[in-house]
Amino acid sequence: MSNLRIFAVNRKKISSLHYFNNMCSSKIRASLKRVKLHVLLGRSYSSLPGLIGNDIKSLHSIISPPIAKIRNIGIMAHIDAGKTTTTERILYYSGYTRSLGDVDDGDTVTDFMAQERERGITIQSAAVTFDWKGYRINLIDTPGHVDFTLEVERCLRVLDGAVAVFDASAGVEAQTLTVWRQADKHKVPRICFLNKMDKTGASFNYAVESIREKLKAKPLLLQLPIGEGKAFKGVVDVVGKEKLLWNPNSDDGKDFERKPLLETRDPKLLKETTEARNALIEQVADLDDEFADLVLGEFSENFDLLPAEKLQTAIHRVTLAQTAVPVLCGSALKNKGVQPLLDAVTLYLPSPEERNCEFLQWYKGDLCALAFKVLHDKQRGPLVFMRIYSGMLKPQTAIHNINGNCTERISRLLLPFADQHIEIPSLTAGNIALTVGLKHTATGDTVVSSESSALAASRRARREGEKKQKGNSEAERLLLAGVEIPEPVFFCTIEPPSMAKQPDLDHALKCLQREDPSLKVKLDPDSGQTILCGMGELHIEIIHDRIKREYGLETYLGPLQVAYREAILNSVHATDTLDRTLGDKRHLVTVELEAKPMETSSLLPVIEYAASVSGDLSQASREAFENGAHSACLQGPLLGSPVQDLAVTLHSLVIHPGTSTTMISACVSRCLQKALKKAEKQILEPLMNLEVTVTRDYLSPVLADLAQRRGNIQEIQSRQDNNVVIGFVPLAEIMGYSTVLRTLTSGSATFSLELSNYQAMNPQDQSTLLSQRNGLS
């Protein structure tokens, strides 16, 4: 009877929670049913934390945790350092999954695309929301492959902190440098996790030294490994002077014990830890004045008496100031060291309110959010990921897009859990949300509650700007910085199976472009073919595969082409006259201009006006001249590639009254093309930074092969038992290199590529290329 009474009381508690918000409750129940229906590959997911089980929380704390308890973090690293495996372990220990996913088995939560599961790589960044010890963590797993650099860039834009994962046997690798530079650009505080400590050749000291030397960062050693390689069995917590040992018989790594280091049991380990802790205290004291005063005042005689909490608070401040990076270690695959990493995320990485965003003061608590990613779902349509900076987001409300200058309505609001989504009634500042119903919002757009809210913020920004005498326009101050989209380096034609399918292909490409701004699609004006421009071979291959799987179109790709550019070598003058009569109107324009090469690199032409014409030109005529110059530079005279590093000076522009601006632009474009044809020209080709990791046995054939590919070797470094070849190689020579390298080294070597710059081709290579293009060779 008493059991029944307890059951009834518990039911009453649960039901009162469920009716806490009637609409919200029914939506969550419905979405939980949906989650159960759409579970992929038989993985078992826990429900929303707190709704089921012993730990019953209020719905309010689940949906809107206090802002100080929120952590928006990303996991970033070189390809194959173990980002996705680390994410899987984090989700498992936080209770969001009930079984461990494995990249090799293709059943991970965040790699949910078919291409990701087949290749064992991350292509899209996936957002996951979970709780850890009272903290709400929004985690984003990002790609490490250079073709998907933009994915990393647009996620770092909205994060408050990041975990940089390193392979302990390799230390800092090529793509690690790239993502680290991106994090520096967005001023993201980060902590380092030295993964794969169980791998043969793993070296804690080597990895720490590479962080110090290559990333120019100051590592704070918060942990030391107990053993390396096959002998790795746990870590030492330097701050608390404790050792953490994982049970070797445990399958999932949940079972570990934390023991204080004692003189009697571990004299050597205790001595090492004490020395490391003293060094850590001195390091932090050098970087943080408040902590230095505390240490020199109360604890100058004996550092051992310094409480761990005081040291942790100081490390948090130093991490936030980005003057140093905390370093932890472990092995995600062997389930060791992940729980302390989660503790470090909550202790040392900042909450949204600790990140200083200047623009928030203009909004005074009104809604301000940034759309940082768009996905297309077949059932729901476009899904837009948003980071909320201030105010609250609710479904069935209208929002104003400042970039697109349009108003749209959010139909539903979801909490992202990789490709599982849970419906919620509202979300507050600091969180990452997923919105349904926005048809026009694209990556990098700033979203506010209404147009009047944007105008009010604009007035506040203008008043403040006048006080500080700042020159930038209020529109710029209101817009959150979007994402810089890199120029594509590869292109190829794409054809539908039949002309009847062309509209379907156009729709598929439009959807994919909204998801991935680094993919460019253009129409060849001569042949009428659709041209696909991407960041690399893998990028274009994945897009082709997605069109086939997601849109059911068997498309045909033409051969991959390299995106060359053109430049001129000398200064040339040209004059042109356009005389047309359309209807009863005469359009007459005469243009005289000069085109000359520039020292600095610029993709767009630099427009200049001679003193004789600068005062007489109207704004409309200036715009028409600039439009004509820009359109002429899109197709150069040699290969039809864009012309760069060009300065155009207007010397004379005579316009007959009534002449349209379109005619002015057409005349300028024709005149500039005439000038470009007269000039001496050269082709610029993309040059790639190449890094090949190869064993000593295969070093000679790899170097011989690179010499044949017009490669320029900068240096050869030693890394444990391997050699790392660093150099430059033209992109045209590196197509299909992965297959050749596998053959040469019996599959033992790896390589990474990154665009360095555009470089002039030598005359012999240029004439060979032109002969090939003209069909003469």
Q: How far apart (Å, rounded) are the C-alpha atoms in residues 335 and 399?
A: 44
Residue 144 class from Cβ within 10 Å (0-12 exposed, 13-18 middle, 19+ buried)?
Answer: buried
- Region label for 149, one of left (φ > 0), alpha (ψ between -120 and 50) or beta (otherwise): alpha
Q: Which two structure tokens, joined as six digits, stand for 718?
A: 């030693």
What value, to the nearest 5°, has the Cα angle with vertex 289 and ends 286 and 294? 100
* 80 carries a ligand binding annotation: yes
- Region label for 736, one of left (φ > 0), alpha (ψ between -120 and 50) or beta (otherwise): left
Q: How far apart (Å, rounded) are the C-alpha atoms in residues 226 and 365?
A: 49
Q: How far apart (Å, rounded) are the C-alpha atoms in residues 439 and 661?
A: 34
C-beta of residue 31 within 8 angstroms of C-beta of residue 423: yes
C-beta of residue 183 within 8 angstroms of C-beta of residue 142: no
C-beta of residue 235 within 8 angstroms of C-beta of residue 198: no
* 161 carries a ligand binding annotation: no
C-beta of residue 83 within 8 angstroms of C-beta of residue 106: no
* 81 carries a ligand binding annotation: yes
* 343 carries a ligand binding annotation: no
* 195 carries a ligand binding annotation: yes
* 304 carries a ligand binding annotation: no
Which of 707, 700, 750, 747 is CA-nearest to residue 730? Answer: 707
C-beta of residue 67 within 8 angstroms of C-beta of residue 352: yes
Q: How far apart (Å, rounded) are the C-alpha atoms in residues 227 and 739?
A: 37
Q: Which two structure tokens, joined as six digits, stand for 70?
A: 């929120």
The length of the chain is 777
What value, to the nearest 5°, has the Cα angle with vertex 546 and ends 540 and 551? 135
Q: Which two structure tokens, joined as six digits, stand for 110?
A: 């965040």
| Helices vs. strands in the chain: H and E counts, helices first | 23, 35
C-beta of residue 761 within 8 angstroms of C-beta of residue 567: no
According to DSSP, the residues that pair with 725 across neighbouring strands are 692, 716
Q: How far apart (Å, rounded) are the C-alpha atoms in residues 716 and 693?
A: 10
* 82 carries a ligand binding annotation: yes
* 83 carries a ligand binding annotation: yes
* 144 carries a ligand binding annotation: yes
Q: How far apart (Å, rounded) are the C-alpha atoms in residues 83 and 165?
A: 6
- DSSP state, residue 241: T
* 167 carries a ligand binding annotation: no
Q: How far apart (Å, rounded) are the C-alpha atoms in residues 74 and 490?
A: 28
- Strand ranges (E), 309-395: 325-329, 368-377, 381-390, 392-393
- DSSP state, residue 155: H
* 642 carries a ligand binding annotation: no
Q: Which two structure tokens, joined as six digits, stand for 523?
A: 């129409």
* 79 carries a ligand binding annotation: yes
HSE of 418 in the Cβ direction (CA atoms, 13 Å)?
Answer: 21
* 77 carries a ligand binding annotation: yes
Binding-site members for GTP are: 77-84, 141-145, 195-198
- Per the annotation, binding residues are 77-84, 141-145, 195-198
